[in-house]
Amino acid sequence: METVIDTGISMHKLCEKLFPICRSITGDGFRKSLAIIKNDVQLDDLQFFEVATGTQCFDWEVPEEWNIKDAYIITPDGNKICDFKVCNLHVVGYSTPINQKISLEMLQNHLYSLPNQPDAIPYITSCYQKRWGFCITEQQRATLKSGSYQVYIDSELTAGSLTYGELIIAGETEQEVFLSSYLCHPSMANNELSGPVVTAFLAKWLLSLPSRKYTYRIIIIPETIGSITYLSRHYKTMKENIIAGFNITCVGDDRAYSYLPSRTGDTLADQVAKHVLAHTHPEYVSYSFLDRGSDERQYCSSGIDLPVCSIMRTKYGCYPEYHTSLDDLELVTASGLLGSYRVLKKAIQCLEYNETLATAVLGEPQLGKRGLYPTIGTKEGEAKVQNMMNFLAYCDGVSSNLEIAEKIKVPLWELVDIINQLKAEQLLKSIH
């Protein structure tokens, strides 16, 4: 049986396997990566969907499919640089094909580098405007001499389709918990292989449970156009059924824990995220919805208004390696992935534990006759059953278990045994 620590190592291994593949918002790299996840994590019911180029999705259209075989630059000295096969970040995403000799001066207009991070290859894409380009370290760029450069990009932009994966895990009710992550980034680790990998392992854990109160809607998509496409097909059902959801991204490093709220900031997902982080990682960083930058942009847009927030390690845009070749598998660690996995698991457990109950008797129940209360009055006695008494006091048929946990300042998971004991004693009744 796999231990918890094994889970961290397994997730990191899966990241390693997926890392070299050149992914984009469409194309075979995405498909291949999704297939590896399905196979390695044994998510047999993970369905693949293809949405044809040109399909209208809300205000957007599915773009042409982009595939690339090779790309490089030959310097006047005959050296091959910006070799796609060495690092796929060297090519601007969605670059049109080219095979041409041009001057350094011309070439400079198509080069992207980061003066402040001279040893980093930046990650650049241009999905909605046709252009070509190469990304290069500032250090290497500085060495380029005048002369004629052979630029070669063997890519294809064709009518094809956008791919996404969807896994529905049935629960006892039609109400849904929603997990979303994205797989459209090429060789970067925290943003973004950590998200789909942790999501896949959460799916595996959910499948291993004997039962689930909620149905789980889990999707692995390309960012932005993927969530727009998916929403355009399912948003009515989603609005009806989803009680809470998490956008899972940047969950792999060992630094901060972070929370980015939904637009309103007060959904059940927000309540759960803040409850779990406050009790497990009270030093967590709390962002504003104004700091958003991932698929919550769609999930929380006005008219969609899904209860979706993000629990992350160091947030996208907030770590120096973000969107460069430095976001690699040393930045993302087994323990970093494992920490996120555990926190998200706890958040899901809180959702499963959460219900609205009422104390079934008037006044305090006599816990003593049920063996739940110390039989002799001492100074220390009361403290022992304080959580139980506090839970009963606030259990009024209106406050949810989660809200009670907040009020009585204990983590919800520490109340689970207490609630089960009280249920066994017929001291609680459900509210429907």
Subset of 76-95 contacting a second copy (CB under 8 A): 92-93
- The nearest distance, CB 291 to a second copy, in angstroms, is 10
Residue 282 binding a second copy, by CB under 8 A? no
d(CA 98, CA 272): 50
d(CA 282, CA 393): 26
Neighbour count for residue 98 (Cβ, 10 Å): 15
DSSP-based three-state secondary structure for 234:
helix
Residue 10 binding a second copy, by CB under 8 A? no
Residue 131 binding a second copy, by CB under 8 A? yes
DSSP-based three-state secondary structure for 303:
coil
Write each residue from 228 to 247 as x if it is in contact with a second copy (CB under 8 A), else as -, in one continuous string: x--xx--x------------
Q: Within a 13 Å sphere around the CA of 41, how many CA atoms are in the beta-carbon half?
A: 32
CA proximity to 348, closest of 166, 200, 251, 203: 203
Residue 49 binding a second copy, by CB under 8 A? no
Subset of 321-360 contacting a second copy (CB under 8 A): 322-323, 358-359
- The nearest distance, CB 298 to a second copy, in angstroms, is 5
> What residues contact 298, with CB distance under 8 A and at least 6 apart?
224, 227, 228, 231, 304
DSSP-based three-state secondary structure for 149:
strand
Residue 300 binding a second copy, by CB under 8 A? yes
Subset of 366-395 contacting a second copy (CB under 8 A): 366, 368-369, 375-379, 382, 386, 389-390, 392-395
Residue identified by tokens 């999705």 is 57
Contact 162, 51 (CB under 8 A): yes
CA proximity to 117, closest of 96, 89, 95: 89
- The nearest distance, CB 19 to a second copy, in angstroms, is 20
Q: Within a 13 Å sphere around the CA of 386, how many CA atoms are in the beta-carbon half?
A: 9
Nearer to a second copy, 176 or 296 (CB): 296
Nearer to a second copy, 1 or 376 (CB): 376
Residue 302 binding a second copy, by CB under 8 A? yes
Residue 409 binding a second copy, by CB under 8 A? yes
Nearer to a second copy, 351 or 389 (CB): 389
| C-alpha 397, offset from chain centre | 34
Count of residues engaged in binding a second copy, rule: CB under 8 A: 64
Binding site for a second copy (CB under 8 A): 57-60, 92-93, 112, 122, 124-129, 131, 224, 227-228, 231-232, 235, 263, 289-290, 292-293, 297-298, 300-305, 317, 322-323, 358-359, 361-366, 368-369, 375-379, 382, 386, 389-390, 392-397, 408-409
